[in-house]
Structures are given as C-alpha cells and as structure tokens.
C-alpha cells in the first residue's frame, strides 16, 4: 500500500533547497569591498556601528547589532574591517546570506576598505547578548 508521502510531487527525489544553500554548520565567511588606496587610519567606529545597525534579521524586527549577533569588530589601520558574528540558531534560514549582507553594508560605509565577516557558532548566541533597546522592542522582560 502506498502512503500519502508516495503521492506528494513535492517530495520527489532530486535536489532540495538545502542542496543550493552553503553549508554553514561549521561557520562561513563572506567578503566585500576592496583595500583603500590611501587609508588615513581605521574606519570610524560610529560609522561601522551605524552600518551594522542597518542590517536587520528578516524574522525579528531588530537590527543585528542590538540583537547581539556581532561578537567582535576589528578596525584595521588600513581601513579594512574584520567582523565575527553569529546568528540566533544554526538552522536560521538566512545563515548563508546574512554574512554577505553584513559585509556589503559595512564595505559601503565611508572610510571602510575590505571587509571580512566570519560566521561562528561558538560561543552560541543567547538572548542575554541583546541590548536593552532590543529587549524592549521584543517585549522581553528578563
């Protein structure tokens, strides 16, 4: 006897969505921008922070900076920026896209050269990393 699954055309053998997405289970790196020809020092911290705050998680109405997804920002003397970030969960549907969006946003900021964003899972993100503003926006009272 055939099951209902046997008749579902969407469950046919062949490539699925996961076959087209990058494997981010052990991390992922994205790059954008280019080295500056005449850097005058590190990119301005406020400009980099504003660029990071312009990127939002599509499932949560809060920017990634206030969500606590940015673990470190290393502004190099030549204008390049190295960022380490995480996501709320390894199974996040934007895991393969978010680092590229972050790299592009920061690379587009004034005084920024090449940007490298590394997605990591250790340490795991927890809600305690969120700013007070993010907790208020999400109505989390912890």
The pLDDT > 90 percentage for the chain reads 59
Q: How far apart are the first and last CA of the chain?
A: 53
- 43-97 pLDDT per residue, tens: 999 999 999 999 998 878 899 999 999 999 999 999 999 999 999 888 777 778 8
Mean pLDDT throughout 21-29?
58
Q: Which of 97, 79, 73 is nearest to 87 (CA)?
A: 97
Q: Are 36 and 113 in contact (CB under 8 A)?
A: yes
Q: Which CATH architecture has domain 24-134?
A: 2-Layer Sandwich (3.30)
Q: What is the mean pLDDT of the chain?
A: 83
Q: Are 91 and 101 in contact (CB under 8 A)?
A: no
| DSSP code per residue over 90-128 | TT-TTTTTHHHHHHHHHHTSTT---EEEEE--SSPP-GG
Spans of all domains in the chain: 24-134
| Half-sphere CA count of 54, side-chain side, radius 13 A | 15
Q: Which of 71, 50, 75 is nearest to 121 (CA)?
A: 71
Rounded to the nearest 5°, which phi and psi values hold at 62? -140, 145
- Asked whether the predicted pLDDT for residue 122 surpasses 50, the reply is yes
Residue 112 zone, left/alpha/beta (φ > 0; ψ -120 to 50; rest) = beta
Q: pTM to 2 decimals?
A: 0.79
- Asked whether the predicted pLDDT for residue 10 surpasses 60, the reply is no
């Amino acid at each position: 006897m055939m099951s209902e699954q046997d008749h579902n055309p969407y469950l046919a053998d062949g490539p699925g969505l996961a076959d087209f997405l990058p494997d981010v289970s052990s991390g992922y790196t994205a790059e954008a921008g280019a080295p500056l020809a005449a850097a005058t020092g590190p990119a301005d911290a406020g400009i980099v922070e504003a660029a990071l705050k312009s990127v939002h998680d599509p499932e949560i109405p809060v920017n990634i900076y206030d969500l606590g997804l940015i673990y470190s920002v290393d502004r190099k003397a030549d204008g390049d920026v190295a960022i380490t970030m995480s996501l709320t969960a390894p199974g996040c549907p934007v895991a393969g896209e978010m680092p590229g969006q972050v790299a592009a946003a920061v690379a587009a900021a004034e005084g920024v050269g090449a940007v490298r964003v590394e997605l990591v899972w250790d340490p795991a993100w927890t809600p305690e990393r969120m700013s007070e503003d993010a907790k208020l926006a999400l109505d989390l009272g912890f």
